[in-house]
Amino acid sequence: MAKGTKYVAKEPDAGGFIHYSDDENAVWHELITRQMTCIPGRACDEYLDGLDKLQLPHDRIPQLEEINKVLRATTGWEVARVPALISFDKFFSMLANKQFPVATFIRCWEELDYLQEPDIFHEIFGHCPMLTHPAFAAFTHHYGELGYKASKEDRVFLARLYWLTVEFGLLQTTKGLRIYGGGILSSIGETNYALDSDKPERVAFELVTMLRTPYRIDIMQPIYFIINSIDNLFELSKIDLMVYVEKAKKLGLLPPKYPPKTMTA
């Protein structure tokens, strides 16, 4: 998570309604319109089914209660308003209680293509469609429960699992590779890069390897892990993941597949 942000989450009025400006709604319209032209043939069917259930508006930023009506009916989840940045304690606690955190701000035009902080477009468009899927929702809930109880050291390993599945996971289907990770599906650049570029590695899912794989949040991912079914994630919710975390800790991190971050003055 970033240490600081220029963005401030929007507060609801007395009736629970969050007011967005015409300019903010226009940013949402631009983001969702171009992603909707990009994801056919790239997003997995489970994501597209969830997107169909949500029926997200294109002309304005949706209200959280609109999302919650669908999530409650499908998997018992909700989205919950948070500030732009929250602690890991809060993050894991919310997931453990089937609440997905959503910062109620949207990026500015100057950062349309890339934003380090997760904004409402990333959280709603990227993640909420998959949260309508029972297997995916069960995995996310289990992950939150584990993370809330875990030590600070263990949370770093669990963060890699989340990053390389929920954020940047790929799915092998009978139609070819498809995307289920919200970090990819909310980015037009990474949606194309993840499937069409010859630069990244695409490797089969292997839990301990994934837990040992370093990542950076500010670059296109150098490696993507592929599952064969969303049910593979459900299977993870039924095993003791901390046993695998201990194995990964003993083996240590793998060499990073990206150059070191250069510091600017």
- pTM (2 decimals)? 0.94
**CA separation for the pair 211, 184 (Å, rounded):** 19
Place of tokens 């909700």: 78
* Confidence at residue 260, expressed as pLDDT on a 0 to 100 scale: 82
Instruction: Report the candidate in 246, 252, 247, 181 with the shortest Cα–Cα distance to residue 220.
Output: 181
Residues of the chain with pLDDT under 70: 1-4, 262-265
DSSP secondary structure, 123-173, as one string: IIIIITTGGGSHHHHHHHHHHHHHHHHS-HHHHHHHHHHHIIIIIT-EEEE
- By DSSP bridging, strand 201-204 and strand 223-227 are parallel
Token representation of residue 227:
């599952």
- Provide the annotated active-site residues: 122, 127, 167, 186
* Confidence at residue 85, expressed as pLDDT on a 0 to 100 scale: 80
